[in-house]
Structure 1
Amino acid sequence: MASKLKVATCSLAGCFGCHMSLLDIDERLLDLLEVVEFDRSPINDLKRIEGMVDLGLIEGGLCNAENVHVLRHFREHCRILVSVGECAVTGGVPSMRNHYTLRECLDEAYIRGVGVENAQIPSDPELPLLLDKLRPLHEVVRIDYYLPGCPPSAEAFWHFLTELIAGRDPSLPLQLLRYD
């Protein structure tokens, strides 16, 4: 490969477990770094993608306006965009709030919650505007590939990335899918 594949990652409304699985490829990270250069990611703490990157990996669903802004920025700056993990693919556990109105969720957390003192719903203009429902990524932008799992295993990440780097369509064998 003449130049390294530029990769950007981020976590939206989720638990960060997918990033932990990526790190669980352990010493193979060194092999990956031979052919991959990380742009925006928690590894280097960059907040924006500068220019274009080859591959964007996004975990987590969309729960607020900032998540939507970050997702659209990724779509605009990533040649290939991958929805990683169940929160990104389907909404996952965070989408359980979709069975209630946003007002009911806020009241439960900030007004009626255990140990709540001086009960009030935060209204600081610095806080991102919450969406009425949590959404999976494909409802807002075009997604090129899906890496399912909760979280996808390190083996699934390794298989997916090495197939993609080799220029092959990264379909996952059934035995690599897991939902813990």
Structure 2
Amino acid sequence: MKVPSAESHASAKPRLATCSLTGCFGCHMSLLDIDERILELIDLVDLDVSPFDDKKSFDRPVDVGFVEGGCSNEYNVKELIEFRKHCRILVSVGACAINGGVPAMRNTVGLRECLEAVYLHGVSLEGGGMIPNDEDLPLLLDRVYPSHEVVKIDYFLPGCPPSGDAIWAALKALLTGTEPALSYQLLKYE
């Protein structure tokens, strides 16, 4: 059974959206690392909201959403909640989305201590600095939260980042209506 499209007519392709929160953008780079299969991807899905096409807002629901990165600030939380509302299936892609990844290393110290270490006592600062306090900056959260602690996630695709082959296999499974079941080779990390 194929994923039913969010479009109103049966001939439309399924829609794919992606978003990047606090992380390194490596999972998006892995999606690009499907090489020549990118041409097949173009035939399989219509790309919706994504950094790849710079579309910022939804104008209709999408079938599959990929989220990479954790939530480290209020803006990330708002973006993830809004993204979830528009995705029929939401996949947490990569270590940062699944468990906070490298950005969550700051979870081992308090927020104030972290900010002071970076902005007041950082080795690259001459004479010290100041902790940013600008209303245009998103408020940092007490810690970095994985995506499933903020919204319901349907599937998890581990890796840092997952390989292009793993992303391709998971996406193809979802688009054909089967449960993603990745082989050991696709989940092996080096």
Classify the TM-score, shorter chain: over 0.9
Identify the residue that residue 44 of structure 1 maps to in structure 2. Answer: 53
1:111 paired with 2:120, answer yes
Q: What's 1:140 paired with?
A: 150
Report how many residues are paired.
Answer: 180
When residues 103 and 179 of structure 1 are mapped into structure 2, their CA distance, relative to the original with a 3 A threshold, is farther
Partner of 1:69: 78
Counterpart position of 2:7: none
Percent of aligned pairs with the same residue? 57
Residue 178 of structure 1 and its aligned partner are, at CA, apart by 3.6
Q: Does residue 1:153 correspond to 2:163, yes or no?
A: yes
Whole-angstrom distance in 1 between the partners of 2:136 and 2:64:
30
CA contact (8 A) 1:60 1:85 kept: yes
Partner amino acid, structure 2, of 1:85: G
Query: Aligned equivalents of 1:77 and 1:23: distance in 2?
Result: 23
Residues 140-162 of structure 1, C-alpha deviation per residue, up to 9 Å, x if partnerless?
11000111111000110111111
Q: CA RMSD in A?
A: 1.2
In the alignment, is the contact (CA less than 8 A) between 1:3 and 1:35 conserved in 2?
no
Q: Which runs of 5 or more structure 1 residues have no equivalent in the other structure?
A: none
Distance 2:78 2:93 in 1: 18
| 1:7 equivalent in alignment to 2:47 | no
Taking structure 1 as the reference length, what is the TM-score of the superposition? 0.96
Q: What do residues 34-89 of structure 1 show as CA deviations (whole Å, max 9, x unaligned)?
A: 01111111111112222211111000001000000010001111101110001101
The one of 34, 46, 69 aligned to 1:60:
69
Query: C-alpha separation between the residues in 2 aligned to 1:115 and 1:61?
Result: 26
Matched residue SS, 2:152:
coil
**Preserved contact between residue 150 and residue 178 of structure 1 (Cα < 8 Å):** no
TM-score between the two structures when normalised by the length of structure 2: 0.91
**Which one-letter code corresponds to 2:56 in the other structure?**
K
Question: After the TM superposition, which of the residue ranges 42-51 and 15-24 deviates more from structure 2?
Answer: 42-51
The 3-state SS of whatever aligns with 2:75 is helix
Unpaired runs of at least 5, structure 2: 3-10
Q: In the TM superposition, what is the alpha-carbon distance from 1:167 to its structure 2 partner?
A: 1.0
